[in-house]
Amino acid sequence: MKSIVSYTGDMILYILMIFFLAKGTYALIEKRPGFELRRQLEPEAPSIWDACLTEGMTGAECEAHILSTVGGDLANHPMPDLKIKYHNQRSPEEYSDTYYMYGVPTNLKGEVDCNLNEGHIIYPWEWIGSDGSSYEIPQVPCAGLDAIACCTAVKKMMKDQGIPLTDLSGNCFSCWVHQEPSIPRLDSDSGDVVYIDYSYNNISKTCD
C-alpha cells in the first residue's frame, strides 16, 4: 500500500532529488532550509521531468527543458530557492571500484521499490565471469520482496543460469541496498506537501 508522510515544520532541510540519467548527467534539484512545507503549491507546477530520461537529453538539454516549464526561471516554481546541479556519471576510477555492485532500491520499509523499473533489478553492464566468458545479466523480478530476499533471488538466478558469481578480477557480484527518496506530492484536500512511499500489494499484484 502507499504510505503518505506529511511534514509541517517551519525550518526543515528538504531535498527534492530528481535523478535523470541523461547521457552521462544527473540533474539534481535541491531545496535549502527555510521552506515552509505547508505552503500552498500550484498543482500544475511540475516536480518531475521524465522527458530528460525518456528522450535521452543531455544535461544542458535537460536543464533547458526544466526551465522551459517554469517560464525560464526556477524562481517561478511554487517551491522556492530551487537550484539545478549536475552530477556526472562515475569516473573510470569509480566505475572500476564499483562495477560489480548491482543496486537494490528500497522504500522506507526496506521493501524493493516497486515504482522503479516495476520492481525489477537491472544490471546494465557486461559481466566477465571467472571462466573468462561474457554474460548478460537477466532482469530479476523483486516486487513484493524485501531487500535481503531480493539479493537472495539474484544470487539464485545467477546459479540457475550458470553465471559465475565472481569475475576475472576476483570481485564478487554484490548486492548494494539503498533507499530511494520519497516522492513529494501536493495533497489536493489539505494543500500540504506529502511524501509518497510505494509498496507492492501481493494480493492485487499492483504497486500502490
The 3-state DSSP class for residue 15 equals coil
- Beta bridge pairs of residue 6: 194
Residue pLDDT, tens place only, 150-200: 999 999 999 999 999 999 999 999 999 999 988 777 677 776 767 889 999
Per-residue pLDDT, 195 = 80
C-alpha cell at 152: 537472495
The yes-or-no verdict on residue 19 having pLDDT over 50 is: no
Cell numbers that stand for 148 in this block: 535481503
pLDDT given at position 89? 80
Reply yes or no on whether the pLDDT at 106 is more than 70. Answer: yes
Q: Supply φ then ψ for residue 175, to 5 degrees.
A: -90, 125
More confident residue, 10 or 186: 186
The string of pLDDT tens digits covering residues 24-81 is 333 333 333 333 333 444 446 677 788 998 899 999 999 999 999 888 888 887 766 7
Residue 18 has pLDDT above 70, yes or no: no
Does the pLDDT value for residue 7 go beyond 90? no
Q: Do residues 49 and 63 make contact, with C-beta atoms less than 8 angstroms apart?
A: no
Predicted pLDDT at 100: 97
Query: Where does the pLDDT of residue 21 fall: very low under 50, low under 70, confident under 90, or very high at 90 and above?
Result: very low
- Cell match 535523478: residue? 19
pLDDT score of 158: 97
Paired residues of 102 in beta bridges:
175
Q: Is the pLDDT of residue 9 over 50?
A: no
Cβ of 98: how many Cβ atoms within 10 Å?
Answer: 12
Does residue 2 surpass a pLDDT of 60? no
The pLDDT of residue 191? 64
Inter-CA distances, 121 with 9, 57, 138, Å:
36, 24, 9
* φ/ψ bin of 118: left (φ > 0), alpha (ψ from -120 to 50), beta (otherwise): left
Residue 202 has pLDDT above 50, yes or no: yes
Residue 13 has pLDDT above 50, yes or no: no
CB 201 within 8 A of CB 115: no
The CA distance from 36 to 15, in Å, is 13
Cα-Cα-Cα-Cα dihedral sign, residues 163, 128, 155, 105: negative
